[in-house]
Structure 1
Amino acid sequence: MTLARYDADEHGSGCGRAGPVHLVTRTAPAWADAGQRISLALWTASGAGTGGGLHPHPRPNRRYRLDLHRHLWDAGRSEELRIRSGADRFDDSGTVGSRLAALAPPGCAVDRWADEAGILLHAHGSPAGAVLVRAGARRIIAELPPDGEDQSSLRVVERYPPGLLSALPVLPDAATWTLPDLELLRAGAITADQLHPLVAAALEPGYSRAETWCGASAAGQPRWVECRGERHRIGLADGVLTALDHDPAEIRREELLVALTGTPLPCLQAIDRAHRQPDCISGVRERLAHGDVAGALAVVDGLVGPDAALRSGALLDELEAAAQQRITYGLFQAGLSTAARRLPRPPRKPLRSHPRHAASF
């Protein structure tokens, strides 16, 4: 999933005959997405630019203003998400006008529209005015009153000159709808632990994720394993996860037994599970999905050691897939990947102007 299909449109200066140049921020398409990364590119009206040749939506769109919603992608502004999403309000009534609330379809953040319209109009250099809200198939024109009047609510404009409609600022899509994460939290469909740590901390003040280290009591401390009626330790030795209470000769004998399809010691079984399918693999997946590659590798290093060679299994598959996706993303950014170019659709058959009637015999 990407944060936005299109990108923020920064008004640039003219560039001779080529027309205005825009600085756009875009997320990669799903096939080239890696770690929730956002890139910068230049775009001109002629379609020339950097990084947009393979993108399914290369043109900037006024409905997706990532420059006005930095809290959705800038870690340094993530605390603003609570206010901008409306999570700080206990109900959705606010000061929403009855007419506006009746026109808006379900799922709209109508109680935030007045504040978001003010931010949008301020970016356009106007303290008040009309904005266009595209909520699904509906188009709503709402007006923010001047400073001397009540700016806590928008007024619906019943009639507006059609010729001036395209010139109206468009309320960004992120400001039109209620944040999906917030809806799921309010409905009890998910818990904060299932969200990105920064999002969870913004939506639920005081939240802190309980970190676990695959069953270890503390980072760097050995773990205990029931082995042949005794409690043995497995921990890091010389940068590798090792059975600390077995001498090297015994470990070599057990490895030969495993090569002959025998059952290894419980200590060695625990080490093998840590390499192939650890308890914390879901945490590694989350970090990779959130773009925290360094954090994911730190978890793996703390689990099997920084000098260990991972064995085949789910953990190695996840890391290899993440590395391959980063390569795909790099090729996409450089304009060198053509693997996911969309094939042209076959021409559609012309529709009949009237239904075909069956002949009777």
Structure 2
Amino acid sequence: MAHHFANRIPAHLLMWQRVREYAVPPSMIETATARRVVGDWAGACAAARVDVDLDLRAVRHRHGTDLVTRLRADLRRLAPDLLRWHMPRIAPDGRLRPGLTLSLARYIGSGATPLQLVVRTPPAWADAGQRMSLALWEGSGKDAPGHHPHPHPERRFRLDLHRHLWDAGRSGELGRRCGAGGAPSMAPPDRPHVPGRPGPPGTWGCAARRDLPELPDRPTVRDAPWAVASWAAEAELLLRAEGRPRGAFTVRLGARSRAVLELVAPDDSHAPTFRTLRQELSPQDVAALPVLPEAAARVLPDLELLRAGLVAPERLHPLVAAALAASGPVAASGSSPAAGPAPEPGDPHRGDPHRVECRGEVHRIALRDGVLTAIDHDPGQLRREELLVALGGPALPCLRAIEAVHRNPEALPAVRERLGHGDVAGALAVVEGLLGPGAILRDGPLREELESAAARRIDHGLFRSGLVAVHPGAGAAGGWNALDGGHTEAGHRPRLDRRTPLAVRRKRSSRARPRTGLYR
């Protein structure tokens, strides 16, 4: 029964389940919260791996004391761990959407363009550590970092209208804004599903009336249920922020699909509703319309996970769990909430020692003096057996088990997930709990993962410093020098190093076909 239930879990929910488990570890939340409550907003950002690219003194000098006072107040209310929790992510690994600039707050000043507090994510080639950066956008290209691929704030991913997703003082609004108190539905309030004919996920569920647009019939991994019931209220906030009491707006339904809707109401005393815009607009006019933010267009992932029984409330972010609990209990469709993850090898809650059948007996393998060793063999025998293995002889089953744990442990997927989300400390804690702090890593997948994570941190440092604006190995495949943009000399083959793309490195180092230069 459990096997059939697991097969029906949507792929995007499985992705968000892994994200909630590894992307924002409890240690980050605890450290960032402890620093935030005492007013150390810079320390909280450092704990949440958020780089601060703004100088309050320079802001005061350029824009005055009033603006810097409002900016400092927002920085003190900023919960960077909560912001990381709600950041947009991409499938299939659930990493931060690369090369993105989000607006967190707007400040109306003396200039024509309002200043914006923004958070940026690095491009995909420099996303080691999954770090973010906090900056002030002044509405011109002068203050934009030249090495960032998209320095302008993205209209589709804006959080200035959703302060409850990053402001600790307004996090309690989450339950009301995401519709946690209502029943899960993907159809508008006035368009219930036809009884006996449930619509497929991502559709309106009503085929009789066609005055509203059709949602995608086949949701992909990145798709989530649409929060159609809250579109009217969210569109009213959007248009009000744009200085329009009523009007048209767009909702991005897919890569090449947009719904052009219109917010209407008889008068100000009635709640507004939306409908499809009846007049035809040119593509240029559609592109100029306000875009409903992604945070308002889709259902909150945490709400989906709770309703599907894939996560327990206590495993959510404390601010998110408190906000959803205040809005009422969330009905789960599963039989029971998902339990926590199974203890991994090296977890202190896991049974210790391990047992291996060796020469007709059951021997124990455990950590002793910071190293994983076979405790039922004396040190002299282990040294002789290791020397025998070095000379090409067979190894003891205990030594083979230790060798397998060093090269390809059972916890490798968990280590890989933590490294992918930037939790290096958590990954090293798993490795040390498994092999011991004094262990020497041997060649194998585990060492390759750790070395790759360390090498990619150098790429992120090059991006942050502005020394490299594009992937350092992007020109290796086409014969271009990526550092200076010039063409290499004729007949020159770029040297293989860590900057070379993986596909090129595999092709150059492959031994699948004999090389003519090796034969006469």
**Shared fold, TM over 0.5:** yes
Q: 1:313 to 1:294 in 2, by over 3 A?
A: same
Q: Does 1:103 align with 2:213?
A: yes
Is the 2:366–2:374 contact (alpha carbons within 8 Å) kept by the matching residues of 1? yes
CA distance in 2, matches of 1:283, 1:79: 34
Q: Does 1:53 align with 2:146?
A: yes
* Deviation by residue 1:270-329 (Cα, 9 ceiling, x = unmatched): 111111100110111111222322221111111001121211110111111112222222
Aligned twin of 1:11:
106
Q: Choose the corresponding residue for 1:251, options 375, 382, 397.
A: 382
CA distance in 2, matches of 1:21, 1:74: 18
Q: Does 1:116 align with 2:234?
A: yes
Is the 1:29–1:55 contact (alpha carbons within 8 Å) kept by the matching residues of 2? yes
| Partner secondary structure for residue 40 of structure 1 | strand
CA distance in 2, matches of 1:326, 1:74: 29
Aligned twin of 2:28:
none
Is the 1:220–1:236 contact (alpha carbons within 8 Å) kept by the matching residues of 2? no
Gaps of 5+ in 2: 1-89, 91-95, 192-205, 220-224, 325-329, 476-520
Gaps of 5+ in 1: 344-361
Q: What aligned pairs does 1:1-361 form with structure 2 within 5 A after superposition?
A: 1=90, 2-3=96-97, 5-9=99-103, 10-12=105-107, 14=109, 21-49=115-143, 52-68=145-161, 80=174, 84=178, 89-95=183-189, 102-106=212-216, 109=226, 110-121=228-239, 129-135=246-252, 136-143=256-263, 145=265, 148-151=269-272, 153-159=273-279, 169-176=290-297, 192=310, 206-214=337-345, 218-219=349-350, 221-340=352-471
Write the letter of the residue equivalent to 1:149: H
Deviation at 1:83, TM superposition (A): 7.0
Write the letter of the residue equivalent to 1:64: F
CA distance in 1, matches of 2:358, 2:347: 17
Write the letter of the residue equivalent to 2:261: I
Deviation at 1:4, TM superposition (A): 6.2
Output the aligned Cα RMSD: 4.4
The count of corresponding residues between Structure 1 and Structure 2 is 333
CA distance in 2, matches of 1:280, 1:79: 38
Is the 1:72–1:81 contact (alpha carbons within 8 Å) kept by the matching residues of 2? no
| Aligned-residue identity in percent | 47
Is the 1:284–1:299 contact (alpha carbons within 8 Å) kept by the matching residues of 2? yes
Q: 1:121 to 1:298 in 2, by over 3 A?
A: farther
Aligned twin of 1:351:
none
CA distance in 2, matches of 1:116, 1:54: 34
Is the 2:106–2:160 contact (alpha carbons within 8 Å) kept by the matching residues of 1? no
Q: 1:286 to 1:65 in 2, by over 3 A?
A: same
Task: Identify which of structures 1 and 2 has the higher relative contact order when contacts are C-alpha pairs closer than 8 Å and 6+ apart.
Answer: 1
328-337 vs 278-287, which moves further: 328-337
Deviation at 1:171, TM superposition (A): 0.9
Q: 1:133 to 1:288 in 2, by over 3 A?
A: same
Write the letter of the residue equivalent to 2:344: W
Deviation at 1:6, TM superposition (A): 3.4
CA distance in 2, matches of 1:223, 1:178: 44
CA distance in 2, matches of 1:133, 1:339: 33
Aligned twin of 2:516:
none
